[in-house]
Amino acid sequence: MVQARARLGERVMRKKFVLFILIPAVIVSIIVYLFIDRWITSGLEYAGEQAVGAKVEIDHLHVSINPIGLEFARLQVADPGDGWKNMFETGKVKFALNFGQLLRGKYIIETMEVNNLILGTTRTTDGSLPKPITPASSSPGLTEQAASMINSQGSNKAASFDIEKIKRELNIDSILNPNNLATYRRIDSLKKQINDAGVEWKATLDEIEKSKSRLSEIESKAKQINVGAIKDIASATNALNNAKSILNDANEVKTSFNTRKSVITDGVNKFGGSINDLDDLAAQDFRNVVNMARLPDLSMNGIAAMVLGKDLLRKAYEYLGYVEKARTTIHNSSDKPPIETPKRLKGQNIYFHAERTYPKFWIKKILISGGTDQTNDPQYFYAKGQVLNISNDQCATGMPLTVNLMATRGGTTTLSFDATFDRRKEPAVDHYKAELTGLAVHEMSFGRSDFLPSKVTSAIADASITAVVPGSHFDSNTKIIIKNMNLSFDRDPNGLVERLVHDVLASLKGFTVDLRMWRDDHKFDVAFATDLDDQLASRTRQVIGNEVAKIQNDLRNKLNAKIGEKRQEVEKLFEEKKSQVTGRLKDYENLLNDKLALVEAKKKEVEDRIDKEKKKQTDDLSKKAKDALKGLFK
Amino acid sequence: MFWLKLVTNFIKILREGQTPAQVAGGFALGSILGLSPMFTLQGILVWFVILVLDVNLSAATFSLGVFALIAYIFDPLFHRLGYFLLANIEGLRALWTALYNAPLAPLTRFNNTVVLGSFVSALILFTPIYLGMKKFVIVYRATLGVRIRKMKVYQIIDRSSLVQWYRRVRDLGSVL
């Protein structure tokens, strides 16, 4: 029995199978030991490059077994916008992985320390990568919308401030061309509609006219009822039924008339309302005409946008790129993702999260610190902060990704940056808050190429920024305070207004700007407010405001005259049709009421006759009864 | 040359050497490795089983190559099957969740549609492949092999310069 079992074992199991396992296992172990550092370095660099879009380099990575973890001497992440600069680089980084969770295929890191973090260092090699071909998105992102806004602003011709030139070039006849006036088009359309309605009204009135014969018939029937011929109750009842029947006929005619009348009256009222609405359209036409005349915008927005130039906006829009990237890059896993079409042999991963379990990937805390050498660099830079809860599933961790950073430069500039990226529920919400103080501004362009080109040569800026990004919406408020400002003008001022602005700016030492950028559904918008506006606008208004107002009044009067003339045509037509219709309606209504009154009077007469007859019979009866009683008691 | 040697060895073992069960066992286990991705916990386990059990290694390796090609062709089918099992069957959801959060089980990468779809397919096909291969070896050894060797095509290939050259190279060591 034992021998048989042994034989069976020999047949099933490989002889010296241990060698078959041991030798490959040892070989694999040696290979893994020799190459694992290189494999992990390549893997991390590749993943980083896919995420950032620029070169990611890790130096001297080493995998430790006990505790299982990683450390590397330096991490460089190139700037995707400038390949010769690093977005940041770090010193030594070391962290340990939770072994228990690693057995579950999860990468959980309690604390990662990133020391000697330096931003914007220069690279010795180009760190840019070929741009991947991305499919065109159906809805434009924040940056695309912002860029199109800058371009559209740039393509708008600047309003001229030369009043004499404006007067010379202003061609009112061309501007007041009927093709440019919506009121004109509306009046033509109304005229056609009124004429069409007039035809319909006439047909309706003709129908009403046809019922006149029925009214005559009603009248003759009513007259045929001879109240004097009623001798008894039976004939009275017949006469009353006849009168009621005639009255029903008359009421039927009246109901039909009222229905037709209300249709015509509604139409008349509708056209009356449309003619009144022409005032609003005329006001809109005036605004369009003023725009076409390219009169200077004396509101603060126009001047502020011109003086502050595009630099400030462009800088703000650049940061929108980062906000957009964060919004689209940080996403959450879904319980049941829709089926994808992955590459061959790659498949699609489906995640199964349960309560109080770890996500696939979670760095609980990253401590960051670093800067330049304080002893050798008077403008030394130092930053520290922490990033909390980087994970692939915030629903599992229950924590949003949080970033808190503090930085100083040269002991004068300070920056604090706080952000949260909440993906725990829909819609995802991102919050940003940044405070910057004492930033030295060495060069910032002012004005425009066609309006007082100038630049700030030195200034100190403080800024406070808050932004909320719920889903695809966006709302940010920025307050910038410029102090100790020195301006240099690229050329001497041309014209009156440039001279005014030049004088105002030359005497300024600072100003504040409130900038709001927001997006509701699909519309991106920007609003400026600055105390610079008040000074500039008041000075500008003083000088050119009256002239501009005069031109505007002239335009308004000519437009009103032109529209008034056209309006008279439609009003005349409307009144004509209205009076025709209402006159005929009134005549018929009077006729109808007369006939109705006649029938009702006849009915009343019959009813009175019946009452009288009833009373007479009752009296006769009581008299007979009394006589009978008298006979009894005699 | 490796593939040529592999095919030659495979034809050789069809004729003689190990039992039909050993050949069929190696072939069926190799089919699991070929159909599903190898770098998973279950892939290592199947390798372990192949090395421990006295099954034919050439058959396993040959089968791995053949079924890897089949797996490439049928990948979309495996993906759909895997997605169906993972996402569409509510009754299995608790099992997947428990496995996903258990130690070691996630290392099997069962939550990947292609891994699960191909592995389930391989398990379903294991028995038919084993029985079919066993029967084939028996028939081949009894009658089919002789008939094939008598076929003109076989003889042409057998006498071809490439095969003659291969044989000379192969037997070089033994002659010396």
- Whole-angstrom Cα distance, residue A131 to residue A288? 44
SS (H, E, C) A196-235: HHHHHHHHHHHHHHHCHHHHHHHHHHHHHCCHHHCCCHHH
Does residue B16 surpass a pLDDT of 90? no
Paired with A410 in beta bridges are none
- Among candidate residues A369, A364, A374, the one with its CA nearest the CA of residue A405: A369
Range name among A322-326, A424-428, A536-540 with the lowest pLDDT average: A536-540
Q: E strands along A279-380, which residues?
A: 361-371
Q: How many CB atoms lie within 10 A of CB B84?
A: 15
- Among candidate residues A121, A117, A132, the one with its CA nearest the CA of residue A53: A132
B83/A104 Cβ within 8 A: no
Convert the pLDDT of each residue in A225-239 to its tens digit.
Answer: 887 777 777 787 888
State whether ipTM is beyond 0.90.
Answer: no
- Whole-angstrom Cα distance, residue A311 to residue B6? 70
**Contacts for B85-88: CB closer than 8 Å, 24+ residues apart:** B85/B116, B85/B117, B85/B120, B86/A350, B86/B111, B86/B113, B86/B116, B87/A336, B87/A337, B87/A339, B87/A350
Confidence of residue A240 (pLDDT cuts 50, 70, 90): confident
**Contacts for A200-209: CB closer than 8 Å, 24+ residues apart:** A200/A267, A201/A264, A201/A267, A201/A577, A201/A581, A204/A260, A204/A263, A204/A264, A205/A264, A205/A581, A205/A584, A205/A585, A205/A588, A207/A260, A208/A257, A208/A260, A208/A584, A208/A585, A208/A588, A209/A588
In a domain, B31, yes or no: yes
Measured between CA atoms, the residue of chain B closest to residue A23 is: B51
Per-residue buried b or exposed e for A460-471, using 16+ beta carbons within 10 Å of the residue's own CB: bbbbebebebee
In a domain, B153, yes or no: no
Report the gap between the CA of B10 and the closest CA in chain A (Å): 19
When scoring B33, B44, B52, B107 by the number of chain A Cβ atoms within 10 A, the one with the most, hence best to mutate, is B52
CB A54 within 8 A of CB A73: no
Q: Which residue has the tokens 């990033």?
A: A387
Q: Which two tokens stand for residue A369?
A: 């610190």
Q: Percentage of chain A with pLDDT > 90?
A: 7
CB A55 within 8 A of CB A79: no
User: What pLDDT was estimated at residue A418?
Assistant: 95
In a domain, B155, yes or no: no
User: What pLDDT was estimated at residue A534?
Assistant: 73
Convert the pLDDT of each residue in A20-37 to its tens digit.
Answer: 778 888 998 899 888 888
User: What pLDDT was estimated at residue B31?
Assistant: 95
In a domain, B53, yes or no: yes
Question: Which chain A positions have a beta carbon within 8 Å of B101's beta carbon?
Answer: 104, 352, 354, 357
Question: Which chain B positions have a beta carbon within 8 Å of A107's beta carbon?
Answer: none
Instruction: Quote the number of domains for chain B.
Output: 1
When scoring B23, B70, B83, B120 by the number of chain A Cβ atoms within 10 A, the one with the most, hence best to mutate, is B83
Convert the pLDDT of each residue in A37-58 to its tens digit.
Answer: 898 888 888 888 877 788 999 9
Secondary structure class of A494 (helix, strand, coil) = coil
**CB nearest A104 (choices: B55, B101, B113):** B101
Confidence of residue A312 (pLDDT cuts 50, 70, 90): low
Cβ contacts of A631 within 8 Å, gap of 6 or more:
none
CB B27 within 8 A of CB B129: yes
User: What sign has the CA pseudo-torsion A231, A235, A240, A242?
Assistant: negative
- Whole-angstrom Cα distance, residue A611 to residue A555? 78
Confidence of residue A437 (pLDDT cuts 50, 70, 90): very high
User: What pLDDT was estimated at residue A158?
Assistant: 45
- First vs last C-alpha separation in chain A: 151
Mean pLDDT of the region A559-573: 88
Mean pLDDT of the region A425-435: 89
DSSP count for chain A of H helices, then E strands: 15, 18
User: What pLDDT was estimated at residue A526?
Assistant: 75
Confidence of residue A543 (pLDDT cuts 50, 70, 90): low
- Whole-angstrom Cα distance, residue A284 to residue A290? 10
Mean pLDDT of the region A259-268: 89
Task: Tell me which H or E stretch contains A472.
Answer: none
Name the residue with higher pLDDT: B47 or A317: B47
A345/B51 Cβ within 8 A: no
Paired with A386 in beta bridges are A367, A404
Convert the pLDDT of each residue in A98-117 to its tens digit.
Answer: 888 888 878 888 888 888 87
Convert the pLDDT of each residue in A323-344 to its tens digit.
Answer: 777 777 676 655 567 888 888 8
Q: List the 28-87 stretch of B: residues with Cβ below 8 A of A.
A: 37, 48, 51-55, 71-72, 75, 78-80, 82-83, 86-87
Confidence of residue A616 (pLDDT cuts 50, 70, 90): confident
Report the gap between the CA of A529 and the closest CA in chain B (Å): 53
In a domain, B92, yes or no: yes
In a domain, B135, yes or no: yes
A347/B79 Cβ within 8 A: yes
A21/B100 Cβ within 8 A: no
B97/A349 Cβ within 8 A: no
- Whole-angstrom Cα distance, residue A404 to residue A417? 6
B53/A14 Cβ within 8 A: yes
Range name among A211-220, A517-526, B121-130 with the lowest pLDDT average: A517-526
Confidence of residue A162 (pLDDT cuts 50, 70, 90): low
In a domain, B151, yes or no: no
A15/B102 Cβ within 8 A: no
**CB nearest B113 (choices: A12, A348, A353):** A348
Range name among A163-177, A247-261, A305-319 with the lowest pLDDT average: A305-319
DSSP-derived pairing of the beta strands A511-520 and A523-530: antiparallel
In a domain, B85, yes or no: yes
Range name among A30-44, B99-113, B147-161 with the lowest pLDDT average: B147-161
Domain that holds residue B87: 2-142
Confidence of residue A64 (pLDDT cuts 50, 70, 90): confident
Q: Which two tokens stand for residue B50?
A: 């192949």
B101/A354 Cβ within 8 A: yes
CB A77 within 8 A of CB A92: no
Mean pLDDT of the region A363-386: 79
User: What pLDDT was estimated at residue B80?
Assistant: 95
- Whole-angstrom Cα distance, residue A221 to residue A209? 20
Mean pLDDT computed over every residue of chain A: 80
- Whole-angstrom Cα distance, residue A247 to residue A240? 10
Q: Which two tokens stand for residue A153?
A: 């602003």
SS (H, E, C) A595-628: HHHHHHHHHHHHHHHHHHHHHHHHHHHHHHHHHH
Q: Count Cα atoms within 13 angstroms, Cβ side, for A9.
A: 8
Return the C-alpha torsion angle A243, A248, A254, A259, nearest 10.
Answer: 180
Cβ contacts of A88 within 8 Å, gap of 6 or more:
A77, A117, A118, A119, A120, A121
User: What pLDDT was estimated at residue B175?
Assistant: 43
User: What pLDDT was estimated at residue A157?
Assistant: 46
Concatenating the DSSP letter of every residue in A62-112 gives: EEETTTTEEEESEEEEEETTEEEEEEEEES-EEEEB-HHHHTTT-EEEEEE
User: What pLDDT was estimated at residue A155?
Assistant: 46
User: What pLDDT was estimated at residue A156?
Assistant: 46
